[in-house]
Structure formats: C-alpha cells, structure tokens
Structure 1
Amino acid sequence: MCLTREKLWPKVPDMRCLNQQIHLKLHLKSGIIYMIPANPLKHTPPELPGDSPPIYRKGNIRMKRSFVIFGTVLIFVFTAAQGFAAMPSITPVIQKAMTSLKVTKADPNFLILTNATAVMTDGKSSLPILEQVQETTGAMVGKGNLLFFQRVQNAPLRIMLFKRSDRNAVIISADQSKWAVDTLDFALKTVSDPNFWKDAKDKYAAGKDLFTLATLGNAWAEGAPYDFLKSAELHNHICPGLTSGYLMAHFILEHYPLEKGQRYTIISSPVWCKEDALQVVMDQTPGKRGLVVKPLSKEQKEKISIPNPAGMVLIWDKKQKTGKGVALSFDFNTLKGLYPEDTPKAASILYTAPYLSSPDKFVSASKEFNLDETMFNAICEAGSNPWEVAGLTTP
C-alpha cells in the first residue's frame, strides 16, 4: 500500500511507498506521529511546536520497516488497554443478585436504591449502567421502587437490591475495574445492634454508604411517604434531624397555608439536618431566597426565650409589605422517646415512620408576631440574630 507524499510530507518529492526507509517520530506534546525520510540531510523535517533544531547523523537514523511496525503495535496495545480497564456489564451481576434474593423482574416488593444519577464511573456518566439495571429488574420511579441518593461525583457507584419482606439486601459497588458484592440483611435485629455498626464500614465494600442504604431501604419498606424519601435522597440518609425537618414542613403547610400574594421565607436558625427536608417538601431553597440559613453560637442559643427553638417561618406579602412571623419549636424528647435510648440512628426510622403523618405531636408554634418591611429585612439580612430582632431573647 502506498501513501501519497501529501499525506506523509508535502515537501518530500519521492516518498511514495512504505517500503522506503523512514523515521517514525512521536511528538510528545501534540501527540502527532510524523513520518520522516531516512535521509534528513536532503529533506529537513518540519519544525514542531517546542522542538529544538534537530541534529541528525546519516549513519544512525535509519530505521527499518520493523521499527515502524513495532511502533504501530505499541500504539495499538496501549489504546486497547484503555478499553480493558472499563467496567464489565452489570447485567449478569444483577441477575445473580435477583436469584439470590428470590425476586423476579417488575416485582414491586423489592427496591433498587442507587447513587447512579449523581456519580461518575470510569470518568463517565453512570446512567448507561442504570439503564441496564432498570431493563433487568423492571424497577421504575413511577412504581415507587427506584430511589436515588446524592453523593459527590467521584464517589463509588452503589446499587442496592432490597427485599421488603425479609429486609435482605445485595449491594453492588464499583471497585476499580470490577464489581464488588455485599450480601447482608437490614432487619431490625441487625440495624439495632450497635456492634454491627462499629466495623461495618471497614468490613463491607459499601463502606460508609451502608448507613444510607439501610435507612432509606427500611424507610421504603415501612411505607414512608414519597416526599420523605425524596428528602432522604437529598440528605443521603435518614436521622432524627431530617425527620424533624419533614415534620416541621408539614406543620407549616397545614397550619399556615399561603393566601394570594404571599410567600414563605424559612429562617433556619439554629441549623441542623432539618433544612434538607424543608427544601424538598416546601421548595424553599437558599438560591431562591426562600431559605435563610443562620448558624448561632452556643451562647446565642442559650438566650432564646422560647423552648426547643427550631427556626421561624415568615409569611410575607411583597406587594402589601406586610406579613406574619411564626417562631417554631420542635420536641426532640418526644421523638426520641419512641425508641430505646441506646438505639443506633440507623434504626430510628423503624420506630418513627408511623408518626410521619402526625407533625402536631412534635412541632408547635411558640410565638406569632407581625412583620413590617423593616423587621422582615432585618431578620433576613446577614449578620443579624433573628431571635433578637423578633424580641425573643433574654438579656
């Protein structure tokens, strides 16, 4: 096979075929391979970016065709090796997990829980892997048996198959260029045992995500409301703090519905896990200025005059420039009284799930106050203590 001189080197008049002796040069900066004639004294190669003027000796620069072939083979092997590092198909792993759990495709009594929508695998989106999982299991968001949880993009991919009836789980994790599989149960006896959690993250490939998978899986199995599960997806686990935010959100929506022209502004102060549930259930976010986050010092918390302070909701009419503020309290003693004192956080949802529709049992409006524009702005602005502005602190 012949290559034209235009393809090889425009300034070389007689380079017609590969059987002529040539010099193979790989320019490391640009990644371009150049074919250089065996007699550079007659044909000076084009200068490459960053190259120093080449010095050639006629006797030691000749390369036979074998060197060209060898170089080509090296390039091929290097390129092919990149493909060998890719993750193998997950379909047979999922099929084996389904057999182990004794579940069938489209069975609504088993759950797929994954962070595939958030993380990258092999430097690429994990969505094609998720597609394989959905095709194999039949799990769908619309059926309520496909849930996600948030993680940073470079976190390992996790996929859990979880059976409602016996709480058995198979967790599949991306581990280098292979799939690591954990098989365990998340029944009450297991997740309530403090000894299980002592070394769990080191014992299993799923690591610290075991807490996430156990809490979301059990919440789903207990029939937790979908908006609660969505809150847990953002928070990436379930704990008493997230539960308090969910209950507060529904307390506000039930007791303080908006009228025409009004909007909510949530004052998150003090700050804890509750904010993630308030964002999901009420669609109030910092980016839309519906959630103002204001941490307090220990001394500032101690001076708040209402019991169990959990934040405020401001109901504001921008056109009328009037509104109402409500200082909220949350009773953690009542919430934590639902389960034994030494219960690990991962097991708390098994005791609190039946009460997610009863916000009044835990949340109360400790104080209502009228708002004008000056007070509204003062509560929301940076640097202010909202409890002081509202007159709800002790000297």
Structure 2
Amino acid sequence: MQKGKLMMVFCLAFSFMMTPKAWAGEKPVWLDPGREALGRAMSEIGLPKGDRNILVLTNAGYGSVGDQSTEAFLDIVPKETGASMGTRSLLPLHTGIQEPLWCSLYRKDTGKVVFLKWTGRGFEQETIDASPPKILNPEGWKKASSGLIGQRVFSVVSVSLTWSVDPPWALLRAATFHDHFCPGVNSGYIAGQYLMEKLPLGRGDKYVFVISPGKCAADALQVMFNTTAGKASGYAMAIAKEDLDKYTKGGVQPSIIAMRVNKKSDTCDGMALGFQWNKAYADTGVSSQEMAPKGGPGNPMFWIARVKMSRELARMPKERLLGYITTLKVFAGKADLADKVAGGDPYAVIWKK
C-alpha cells in the first residue's frame, strides 16, 4: 500500500516536471499543428535532423498566433529539426508582437527555402529557390515575394545567404535584432570593432552613441554594447543634408558620434566616425546605382544589392573591414558633454503645433 502511494506521488511529481513552462495554462492550440508543419518542412528540405546545412529562422518568441505568444515554438524546433542556437543553426528574428508566427528552413548546399506561416486557418507552406543565381535577380525576387513569404523575403534571404558565409556571431545577432542583413548593419558592426581598438572601455567607462542621421548602424551598436535609449546611451537624430555636408571630409560623411564617458572621473572622450561607402562599393562589386535604383524599394534591385553587399562584407577579414572607417573628428570634455551632444528639445517642436 505504502509503495503504491509513493509511486502515485512520484508519477504526479514527474508529470508536473514534464509540463513545459509555456503551458502553465492551457496548451497552445497551434502547438501540435506547428510540430506537424515542421515535420512536413523537414521532409521537403530533404536532410536529417541536425544536418549542418540547415538554418532555421523564425520570429517565434516575438510574433503571435491570435492573442497567444509563441515562445513555445522555440522548444519544438530543436526536437523536430535538430537546430539550436548553440550551433548557430536556429536564429530567432525580431519582429513586432502583432506579426503572425512564421518559420523558414534554409538548405545551404542547394539554396532551398521552405517557408511556413500561421494564417489563421493553420500553417501554410511554400518552397522557394533562394540559391544566389535564382533569387538575386529581379525576376527571381519578384516571383519569390509574390507568394506566402511576401515582403519577409528580404529578411529570410538576407539572413540565410549571409549566414552561409559564417559571419561573426555578434554580427548575426545584430542582423536578427534589426530583422534583416543590410550594409548599414555591417557598417555599425565594423564601427564597433574599430572603437574597441581605438577607444576601448576601461573601468567605470561606458559608451554613448549619437547616430545622425538615424540609420541601421545604430542597431548593431546597441546589440554589441547594450547602448539603449532607455539607459541613456543610444540616440538617433535627424539632420538636414546641407548641414551634414558641412562636416563631410574627402567624400566621407559623418554618421556616428561615439563617446566614452566616465561619470566618476568626469570625462568624455569621443570620435566622429564615417564609413567609406565608395570604397566598399568597389570592393564588393555593388554600385551606388544598384543601391539606389530607379523606383527605389519598388525595384527588386534595391533589395538584391543590399543582400549582395552585406554578404560580401560579412565574409571579409576584420583587418580589411577596419579600413572602411574614417575618424573625422576627435574631441574631449567633461562627462556632461555627452548630454549636450545628445540634447535637444523635441517637445518645443510639437508644442508649437
């Protein structure tokens, strides 16, 4: 009798231990369909679990299914695909919380992408040929973006193709936070590497960044150094082109003000940095005309050029990359200089309306 009671207690305890934390309430209604959808996607991708050629990219943990959060999907992905963050084969991609849950499986050796998405009726799926010869041309891009994946084709293709050249982990994290790879993210990562050599942090120091004009580089620096607006260490400011031109030297425009601030010693040392875009265009084989084609974002070349250039920059050695950064100004002052550089009264603008 006593043994029976002990066995019952053990079984109950074990069942509670095995209940996923995400299922503290009711089990998400989409979870089993999600598992089945991943199984179908793996069959389509045609590789065994854990194969090094597979990348799983998903907005799970950010996106939603109806009014339910989707972090539980991150638990079933490794079980169904063998992918994991520790092997860099599972990358959660930052999206808004109102975006429906989606997931892509990319096969590096063939370029095949299987994309699945919650549509309200269940998980729908499509297959795309994302090999560079097929996807990095206007016709291929248009065809891919016209299907289920839609405008997310840029996120999926840019991250998948750049992942395939084995970029640094910090750069991958910056891109998934930014929700895609683009040369602006690369430039921010490169600037961060440059600062760690030229303006390294010591005890009690912190970085404060002002990105002007506000561009993609800001997100890379935020991920690398945890410099957020909420911690008064990351700012983005608009600036008129004619004002920016005043500070341009040798064809290089300033884009980042980086400051090393120490409140205790009351010091602020800083640099204004620019990126040599023309040199990067030449080295990557992507022209400024391709980056800004007629029709803008409505022209597939706008997106294709960004994928190509970002991928090429991601595969370059650090020593070469650092050569794209130019120091346009060096300055120093007391710690409150950082507040003055980042200061302004935005409320004055709207209070006049």
Q: What TM-score do the two structures reach when normalised by structure 1?
A: 0.71
Which residue is 1:162 aligned to?
Answer: 106
Which residue is 1:293 aligned to?
Answer: 236
Which residue is 1:391 aligned to?
Answer: none
Residue deviations 1:231-269 (CA, integer Å, cap 9, x gap): 011110111111111111111112211122322111211
- Superposition pairs of residues 254-273 of structure 1, within 5 angstroms: 254-273=197-216
Which residue is 1:353 aligned to?
Answer: 314
Q: Note if 1:234 corresponds to 2:177.
A: yes
Paired letter, 2:210: I
Report percent identity of matched pairs: 25
Corresponding residue SS for 1:367:
strand
Q: Could you tell me how far apart the structure 1 residues matched to 2:281 and 2:100 are?
A: 33
Taking only aligned residues, the RMSD between alpha carbons, in angstroms, comes to 2.2
Corresponding residue SS for 1:103:
coil
Q: Could you tell me how far apart the structure 2 residues matched to 1:195 and 1:280 are?
A: 35
Q: Could you tell me how far apart the structure 2 residues matched to 1:322 and 1:88 are?
A: 57
46, 56, 65: which one pairs with 1:102? 46
Corresponding residue SS for 1:127:
coil
Corresponding residue SS for 1:370:
strand
CA contact (8 A) 1:86 1:122 kept: no
Paired letter, 1:173: K
Which residue is 1:311 aligned to?
Answer: 256
Which residue is 1:330 aligned to?
Answer: 275
Which residue is 1:77 aligned to?
Answer: none
Q: Could you tell me how far apart the structure 1 residues matched to 2:31 and 2:338 are?
A: 54
Query: How big is the shift at 1:305?
Result: 4.6
Q: Could you tell me how far apart the structure 1 residues matched to 2:205 and 2:41 are?
A: 51
Q: What TM-score do the two structures reach when normalised by structure 2?
A: 0.79
Q: Could you tell me how far apart the structure 1 residues matched to 2:59 and 2:179 are?
A: 9
Paired letter, 2:101: L
Gaps of 5+ in 2: 1-26, 291-300, 347-353
Corresponding residue SS for 1:355:
coil
Corresponding residue SS for 1:310:
strand
- Structure 1 stretches of 4+ with a deviation exceeding 4 A read 85-88
Corresponding residue SS for 2:134:
helix
Q: Note if 1:339 corresponds to 2:285.
A: yes
Alpha-carbon distance change, 312 to 225 in structure 1, aligned in 2, over 3 angstroms: same
Q: How many pairs were matched up?
A: 300
Gaps of 5+ in 1: 1-82, 385-395
326, 334, 339: which one pairs with 1:364? 326
Higher-RCO chain (CA-CA 8 Å, sequence separation at least 6): 2
Q: Could you tell me how far apart the structure 2 residues matched to 1:272 and 1:198 are?
A: 26
Paired letter, 1:312: I
Residue deviations 1:161-209 (CA, integer Å, cap 9, x gap): 11121121111111122221111121111232022333543x2101111
Corresponding residue SS for 1:135:
helix
Q: Could you tell me how far apart the structure 1 residues matched to 2:327 and 2:61 are?
A: 38
Q: Could you tell me how far apart the structure 2 residues matched to 1:106 and 1:149 are?
A: 20
Q: Could you tell me how far apart the structure 1 residues matched to 2:248 and 2:279 are?
A: 20
Q: Which has a greater percent of helix? A: 2
